[in-house]
Structure 1
């Protein structure tokens, strides 16, 4: 009986020693490709203060991060790459002219922008937020909803008796719509900028 108690006590001491030597939350190494923030918690090199920022490798945001952006943030990123793009309006459920913002299977954020290379005098629709003056961004909960919206717009435009065509691109949960007033090479700049988000 005494021998069994000694064995049990020895086993408990061994388990305690191993548990105490295991790394704690502040001692854990960063995840692969990450760094440690000044507060000691794991982080990534993108967008956070790092323990040694001068030696930390620069990385691009993780793929899929665009899914966490609002339409306004997507436009800001596009404008950082295309200096002629200017944010013009950020819609709310009350100001969305389509009254679709926040409805099931449709966009959860929407914003529009202008492009200074487009002459408003040549546009047929000069209302604030008109895609013809630059473009718009619609962000959805998932890619399937974004693609369904693109298909609906494409089919609607094809059925109209007048030319109101536009460029449109889906990347993940984001639908980018561009003015037909932009020549193909300028539309391609936006497509490249969208790919780089």
Structure 2
């Protein structure tokens, strides 16, 4: 097998395993609250998206992750997300995401809600550690309390900043 093909297969396997990647916001530790607690109330991912999409008009809800359709098989597992939605962003060209599944973070993003802020921060850090050497899998990750907002790397830093601001203002 050629080196190029091997690298492509490896990248595809990592992408399938994670269905995302990214950069943790500078506010992670601040937003994780005192003693691992939450500085915000626990919300459902749909409620968080309703707030976020009111501030980022390009975001459109594309799916709700259930235990049956979760590609990561993490929903409801210990220290993992308790709810998750996926969304698209109309500023991302369809040419960039050819072959990506409907709920793939590269199409726009995802919101994952956890039982504790510490679990949300741990998930964001895990994604970063696994993907930091693979820029093709990178994403922007913003943690606010128990909420992790994952945003596609196809957006510019300025476009992603709108998600960062909206995440910081979640109730």
TM-score (norm 1): 0.64
Aligned to 1:81: 55
CA RMSD of aligned residues (A): 1.6
1:165 to 113, 138, 154: 138
For the structure 1 residues 143 and 100, does the alpha-carbon distance in structure 2 shift closer, same or farther, using more than 3 Å as the test?
A: same
The answer (yes or no) to whether the contact 1:120–1:126 under 8 Å persists in 2 is no
Deviation sequence 1:137-174 (CA, Å, 0-9, x none) = 000000110111111100111244x6211000110000
The answer (yes or no) to whether the contact 1:66–1:74 under 8 Å persists in 2 is no
**Bigger radius of gyration:** 1
Q: Distance in 2 between matches of 1:78 and 1:156?
A: 27
The structural deviation recorded for 1:67 is 2.9
Q: Distance in 1 between matches of 2:97 and 2:39?
A: 34
Aligned to 1:174: 147
Is 1:143 the equivalent of 2:134? no
* Matched residue SS, 2:161: helix
In the alignment of these two chains, the number of paired residues is: 133
**Structure 2, unaligned runs of 5 or more:** 1-37
Higher relative contact order by CA 8 Å / sep ≥ 6: 1 or 2?
A: 2
